[in-house]
Structure 1
Amino acid sequence: MEITGSKKWLILVITSISTFMATLDSSIVNIALPVISKDLKVSISQIQWVVTSYLLTISMLLLVWGKLSDLYGKKKIFSSGFIIFALGSGMCGLSHTLEFLVISRIVQAIGASAMMSLSQGIVTGTFPPEERGKALGFVGAMVALGNMTGPSLGGILLHFFNWQAIFFINVPIGIIGLIASAIVIPEIFEVQDVKYFDLKGTLLFSFGVLVLFLGLLFVQQGTIPTIYLIPAIIIAAAAFILFVFVEKKSINPLIDPELFKIHEFSYGLVAAYLSFIALISVLFFMPFYLENLLKLSALHASIIISVYPLTTAIVAPISGWLSDKLTYRPLTITGMAAATVSLLLLSTLHRNSPIWEILLLLCLLGFGIATFQSPNNSSVMGSVQRDQLGIAGGINALFRNLGLVSGAAFSVLIYSFSTKSSINSLSGGKFNPSSFIKGFSYIMLFDAVCTFIAMLISVRRTVKKAKEEIQK
């Protein structure tokens, strides 16, 4: 049964709201951490668990929700994500201890992961191929708007109310989302016949993700020495290797190995992973460049950085629409080429660089990332069968999270090795302008290499697809 008329656009609005909420809550909390830390009388290092627990829970559950939705249906799980998210948000607002706040954030993340995992799959299953890119581009715009709105909205709520307000605001939106999704979204998406959930594979994969993400996050935060990342990677790799063996023998594996034989799927995931490594590195270090080196206020710095998500929000739907007309191939190559140029030029910034140049380069980066992401998401999600859209969306979201976490950790490591100083030197009176410029330049060059490789992967995917079409 095909969904036609206004109903498919209502479904797009509902899934976009869920994406916006989950993204917003990732960025809105950061600005409130100092206030929460002071109110709960805990250290900054302890309060980081408010962010870490949320990110870890989402990353561990993305595939679980995706697979369960393929087995039992997407509507029930997606709708329940809204109410669990609202419940967790209410719990966060009522928290009076760090322990209860972290538990509440985990509950909140359980709901967020269900929404994040299924939003792309529902959109892909709702819209025909000739409109899929435009629809996914709109979802991409919501991600950008969530990232852009979070800090400013958080600041407003903190100014007029208290930190609890940044959580309570989610409760009515979650309830409305639950009612709307229950009424509007039909349960027409194909489900798999074999009702077997791969518990062994799920536990192995979750353990690997937990160890890897904890290692990367702790290194990024300076909680553990960098050398400890090596055993974390070895343990995670061992878990993933064992996971592969278990999957080959499973009746209905968590991740069907055949998915990765689809080059549009596997190539698209790797290219997306590399693009998110580059993106988070820029967003992580740019505030230090603007505030510590150029001596701009936090307000001015945030306005300058907001140029990136604003550009992304404008370009993503246009790029998605173009991919419906031109296919994803020229757009993914063009997007990564533009991002590579912007990163190479960002590596040349210095203490006297004009503001207009920084704005222009961030606009170019936003243009490149948005031009790439919408068509790439469309190609990844459009390459799988309808009864695998849930797990495909979960894998796509997981690669995005992995890119963001590893990108932040890699940039911190590059900075430490190139400047022979800790990331903590960027705060207080230890800031060294010459040393910072050196480290910043190396990070941008590393990011440019990542996006250049992503561009080559996109070229390879295009050539391979063209050969397949000629052979047909």
Structure 2
Amino acid sequence: MQAEGLPMPRRLTAIAAVSFGTALVVIDGAIATVALPTIAHDLHVDSAAAVAVVTVYQLVLVMLLLPFSGLGNRIGMKRLYQLGQIVFTVATILCFFAKSLPFLLIVRAAQAAGAAAALSVSSALVRQIYPPKQLGRGLGVNSVVVSVSAAIAPTLGGLVLAVGPWPWVFASAVPFAIASLVLGRSLPDAPRSKAPFDVLGAVLCAAMFGLVIGGLESAVHGDSPEVSAAVVIAGIAIGVIFVRREQGEAEPILPVDLLARPVLALSTIGAFTAFIATMTLLLSLPFRLEHGYGFAPSEVGAVIAPWPLTTMFVAPLAGTLSDKYPAGALGGIGMGVAIAGLAALAFLPHDPSYFDIAWRMSLTGAGFGMFLSPNARLIIGSAPVERAAAAGGLISTTRMVGQTTGATLVAALLAMGVGAGMAPALVAAGLALVAGLCSLARLRPSVRNPAKTETDQAQPAQLG
């Protein structure tokens, strides 16, 4: 199975199971935003407090992704994937009993725990499903599912609110969980590690991410800067202890063994800066369009739509190409295209039309789509089979931390009075440049294949 992937038609059923599970996580993470005003009204809290419904979900997700990827290696990735969806479904039912914000936050944390269990091993399952020569194609399909789910989440949430109370917004993702569970019998049963699960390492990992990101979120929302700084410093201190401890572990929770490989370290740094760049632009653009150019809120979504729509087509194409051509070259080209698009967005005309913005958004989305799928394929394909779950957890964690960092950066730019102008697009272009340089650096033979150990199931030239 590991050499050739799953046989047909079982492969198609397994792909559908993972796709529904991925859609579940993405939709549930994005759909709550449209319901926040209604939740605040019904639970008698102010809008700022209601935002915690979104942030607590993101925070728990980031805290648990890497620990759960390690747990999946011990109890079985298929089992953890399906347990996560069961937890999510039960937690969603509890939303209907939420009569106070604290109870709802507990339920959202449980939802995030279930989503983290599924997301932490999804990329590793994709590796088991597809033959090595089609891994890039498989990850490209997964990227399309993410893009489509993110695009439809706000619309779906609005439609649900139009006909029912806000708990149904969360329940709208349950059919995806049920479909994935029903089809999940076709998922592969990967070999399990016999090494004991590092509970202390998992706790330290969760504490590190929770304190650092929680402290940054606290600072952004205007809480005490002294307390926020203390929380961040405490998280960094725990992180130092955690990383040093992980360096002596055979199967570390934080995959320092994978990050020690230059090709994987560069890929992770590139992905991190790329996700910061995308979030920086996408979160700041509505402010610029509404405040600077007078677009109505209903028009903003249509203006942003060309980005995910273009990514839907480019990501699977780039993933397929990465099965044949070096990811370093594809990523470098992609970031070059993205930088051109971001620069064009920074210098919009004085009175831009829909077309003026749409082609720039499409160009930028194409660039990031060309980078992210080959980059994920390289990380998953370069990791040893027994560390595939750790590599998948690394990809998901990098995405979530990058997006959270991007949101924090936008808040800082807005606080400085430059977040509704060209500054976010220029900052994003600088971050894309870093990602592009990291990608091109992987083409060097000394990075791509220093000791002929980077490859596991693909050729060195294809991976770099």
Pair in the same fold by TM > 0.5? yes
Q: Distance in 2 between matches of 1:133 and 1:412?
A: 35
Q: Which residue of 2 aligns with 1:360?
A: 359
- The one-letter code sitting in structure 1 at the alignment partner of 2:215 is G
- 1:58, distance to aligned residue in structure 2 (A): 0.7
1:46 aligns with 2:27: no
Change (3 A) 1:466 1:37: closer
- 1:251, distance to aligned residue in structure 2 (A): 5.6
- The one-letter code sitting in structure 2 at the alignment partner of 1:239 is I
Q: Distance in 2 between matches of 1:234 and 1:148?
A: 36
1:307 aligns with 2:284: no
- The one-letter code sitting in structure 2 at the alignment partner of 1:65 is F
- The one-letter code sitting in structure 1 at the alignment partner of 2:213 is F
Unmatched 5+ stretches in structure 1? 420-434
Partner SS state of residue 134, structure 2: helix
Q: Which residue of 2 aligns with 1:132?
A: 135
Q: Is the 8 A contact 2:326 2:443 kept in 1?
A: no
- 1:252, distance to aligned residue in structure 2 (A): 4.2
Change (3 A) 1:244 1:144: same
Q: Which residue of 2 aligns with 1:424?
A: none
What are the within-5 Å matches in structure 2 for residues 50-65 of structure 1?
50-65=53-68
What are the within-5 Å matches in structure 2 for residues 214-225 of structure 1?
214-220=214-220, 222-224=221-223
Q: Which residue of 1 aligns with 2:277?
A: 278
Q: Which range moves more in the overlay, 345-354 or 4-13?
A: 345-354
- 1:63, distance to aligned residue in structure 2 (A): 0.8
- 1:325, distance to aligned residue in structure 2 (A): 2.3
- The one-letter code sitting in structure 2 at the alignment partner of 1:39 is D
Q: Is the 8 A contact 2:35 2:157 kept in 1?
A: yes
- 1:197, distance to aligned residue in structure 2 (A): 1.4
Q: Which residue of 2 aligns with 1:444?
A: 425
1:419-461 superposed Cα distances (whole Å, 9 cap, x missing partner): 3xxxxxxxxxxxxxxx665xx3222211111110110111111
How large is the Cα RMSD of the aligned pairs? 2.0
Q: Which residue of 2 aligns with 1:185?
A: 187
Aligned length in residues: 450
Q: Distance in 2 between matches of 1:346 and 1:218?
A: 31
TM-score, normalised via structure 2 length: 0.92
Partner SS state of residue 444, structure 2: helix
- 1:294, distance to aligned residue in structure 2 (A): 2.1
What are the within-5 Å matches in structure 2 for residues 46-195 of structure 1?
46-181=49-184, 183-187=185-189, 189-194=190-195
- The one-letter code sitting in structure 2 at the alignment partner of 1:288 is F
Partner SS state of residue 237, structure 1: helix
- Out of 417, 436, 460, the position equivalent to 1:455 is 436
Q: Is the 8 A contact 2:255 2:394 kept in 1?
A: no
More helix as a share of residues: 1
What are the within-5 Å matches in structure 2 for residues 288-299 of structure 1?
288-299=287-298
- The one-letter code sitting in structure 2 at the alignment partner of 1:330 is A
Change (3 A) 1:30 1:351: farther
- 1:298, distance to aligned residue in structure 2 (A): 1.7
- 1:365, distance to aligned residue in structure 2 (A): 1.1
Q: Is the 8 A contact 1:137 1:374 kept in 2?
A: yes
- 1:264, distance to aligned residue in structure 2 (A): 2.5
1:36-65 superposed Cα distances (whole Å, 9 cap, x missing partner): 111111111111111111111111110111
1:123-158 superposed Cα distances (whole Å, 9 cap, x missing partner): 012212210011100101111111100111111111
Q: Is the 8 A contact 2:410 2:419 kept in 1?
A: no
Q: Which residue of 1 aligns with 2:205?
A: 205
Q: Distance in 1 between matches of 2:253 and 2:131?
A: 27
Partner SS state of residue 197, structure 2: coil
- 1:186, distance to aligned residue in structure 2 (A): 3.0
Q: Distance in 2 between matches of 1:230 and 1:391?
A: 30
Q: Distance in 2 between matches of 1:27 and 1:378?
A: 25
- The one-letter code sitting in structure 2 at the alignment partner of 1:10 is T
Q: Distance in 1 between matches of 2:254 and 2:304?
A: 37
TM-score, normalised via structure 1 length: 0.90
Q: Is the 8 A contact 1:118 1:393 kept in 2?
A: yes
Q: Is the 8 A contact 2:213 2:232 kept in 1?
A: no
- The one-letter code sitting in structure 1 at the alignment partner of 2:280 is S
Partner SS state of residue 191, structure 2: coil
What are the within-5 Å matches in structure 2 for residues 378-457 of structure 1?
378-417=377-416, 419=417, 440-457=421-438
Q: Distance in 2 between matches of 1:133 and 1:465?
A: 23
- 1:232, distance to aligned residue in structure 2 (A): 3.8
Structure 1 vs Structure 2: percent identity of aligned residues?
Answer: 28
Q: Distance in 1 between matches of 2:448 and 2:88?
A: 46
Q: Is the 8 A contact 2:333 2:367 kept in 1?
A: yes
- 1:335, distance to aligned residue in structure 2 (A): 1.0
Q: Distance in 1 between matches of 2:449 and 2:15?
A: 32
1:367-397 superposed Cα distances (whole Å, 9 cap, x missing partner): 0111111100000011111111112111111
Q: Is the 8 A contact 1:125 1:389 kept in 2?
A: no
- 1:468, distance to aligned residue in structure 2 (A): 3.5
Q: Distance in 1 between matches of 2:194 and 2:118?
A: 23
1:248 aligns with 2:247: yes
Q: Is the 8 A contact 1:197 1:253 kept in 2?
A: no
Q: Distance in 2 between matches of 1:120 and 1:254?
A: 16
- 1:226, distance to aligned residue in structure 2 (A): 5.6
Q: Which range moves more in the overlay, 460-469 or 168-177?
A: 460-469
Change (3 A) 1:125 1:264: farther
Q: Distance in 1 between matches of 2:164 and 2:254?
A: 45
